[in-house]
Amino acid sequence: MMRRVPFTGGEKESLHVALDRHRDAVLWKLEGLDDEQLRRPMTPSGTNLLGLVKHLGGVELGWFCETFGRATGPLPFDVEVDETSDMRALPNESTREIVDFYGRARATAERVHQGDRGLLGPCPSHCRPGDR
């Protein structure tokens, strides 16, 4: 059952619940689908559901880890080689590998979220308002 985002309380708690609610919804959307359905291109670009999960794993690591100077480990795709490789499941990637990557990315981002702000490094200049 999905948790409701609290209407009262701290911003960090509200953000945490909202993120978890949406993270859970992504995985819920995959339930009951076979491999062909998970890999079927849904847009002209070839994006598929597993690709979205892979992309979201990269987003978790980028926004919640790299932004605060935390190591992420290697990504299972290289956008320098293929700029859309994070948006679709490749033939050599199993459903389990992609879902596990998303789970690891989510857990890594959660550790940063739960961390002491004093332990986090400064936000890099590319993330500061007005510096984009």
> For residues 132 and 95, which has the higher predicted lDDT (pLDDT)?
95
Q: Is residue 41 part of a domain?
A: yes
Torsional class of 35: left (φ above 0), alpha (ψ -120 to 50), beta (otherwise):
alpha
Q: Which domain holds residue 30?
A: 11-116
| Percentage of the chain exceeding pLDDT 70 | 82
> For residues 32 and 84, which has the higher predicted lDDT (pLDDT)?
32
Contact 49, 84 (CB under 8 A): no
Q: Is residue 95 part of a domain?
A: yes
Q: Is residue 126 part of a domain?
A: no
Helices (H) and strands (E) in the chain — how many of each? Answer: 4, 0
**Chain centre distance of CA 89:** 15
Measure the CA–CA gap between 129 and 132, rounded to whole angstroms: 7
> pLDDT by residue (tens digit) across 82-91?
888 889 898 8
Q: Is residue 5 part of a domain?
A: no
Q: Is residue 86 part of a domain?
A: yes
pLDDT class of 34 with cuts at 50, 70, 90: very high
Q: Is residue 50 part of a domain?
A: yes
Range of weakest confidence among 52-66, 71-85, 94-108:
71-85
Q: How far is CA 90 from CA 15, 16, 20, 97, 111, in A?
A: 32, 31, 27, 11, 29
Q: Structurally, how many domains does the chain consist of?
A: 1
| Percentage of the chain exceeding pLDDT 90 | 38
- 116 pLDDT more than 70: no
Over residues 46-68, the mean pLDDT reads 89
Pull the structure tokens for residue 42. 């849904």
Q: Is residue 2 part of a domain?
A: no
Q: Is residue 132 part of a domain?
A: no
